[in-house]
Amino acid sequence: MYLGFLDMNAGFLIIIAAMIIGLIARSKVSGTYKRFSKVSTERGLSGASVAREILDSYGLANIGIQEIAGNLTDHYDPRNNMLSLSRNVYSGNSIASVGVAAHEAGHAVQDATGYSPFKLRQKLVPVANLGSQMLFPLIIGGLFFHMTALYYLGAALYGAALLFQLVTLPVEFDASRRAVVYLERSGNMTGAELAGVKKVLSAASMTYVAAALASLGQMVWLLLAGRRR
């Protein structure tokens, strides 16, 4: 029993540590983005124009770019071949805007070139969503009705959500790498501007690391709690 108590505490500590890392990561990305959103590129490049250049360089004229509301709501949707950029990123000419737009264009390139982790992540989306939605109903149901199988079914579904988070890491890192490589080769940005882009993308990547750690911590806790039962 004492060892079980220690196991549960260890699980809680993992979750708390992940939450703290997440808060730090979100604070860092917010601060870094705000800092470089105030620094314009020397050539006045907008996020939309840079994204278009990247897509066209890969022959991806079929992928559209649209402006959407919100802040940092930027994303690429492979279902309709659409790159959606938030207002500040779409029309902004800051270092932050260019970095974010180039990163999202990198996802479109991953899709077009058949980048394996990207394809795997897309296949995991439905089951990951199901796992996130059904986790607590199954866990609570399993505890309430004393059905261990139901409990572990919830944990298994959440495992799919965890796998999604883990696969997301190489996808996001690779998209940032592609963005930086293109910007370096294009010659459209100065060394100082590229350094700023790298800082913005590096800060953003930490939010995905934090999310993966949080999911891992919760999974460990679920397994420890199940074993204790």
The pLDDT value given to residue 42: 93
The pLDDT value given to residue 162: 82
Contact predicate 89/101, CB 8 Å: yes
- Residue 52's CB is within 10 A of a number of other CB atoms, namely 19
The pLDDT value given to residue 129: 74
pTM of the complete model: 0.82
Pairing of strands 64-68, 82-86: parallel
Instruction: Choose the catalytic residue: 67, 104, 172, 193.
Output: 104
Mapping DSSP to helix (H, G, I), strand (E, B) and coil, where does residue 58 land?
A: coil
Structure tokens at 158: 């959440």
Residues forming beta bridges with residue 67, ordered by sequence position? 85
Mapping DSSP to helix (H, G, I), strand (E, B) and coil, where does residue 91 land?
A: helix
Structure tokens at 211: 């999310």
Identify the CA nearest to 48 among candidates 80, 71, 78, 74: 74
Where does the chain show beta strands of DSSP type E?
64-68, 75-77, 82-86
- Specify whether 104 is catalytic: yes
Regions of the chain with pLDDT less than 50:
1-6
pLDDT in tens, 191-219: 999 999 999 999 888 888 888 877 777 76
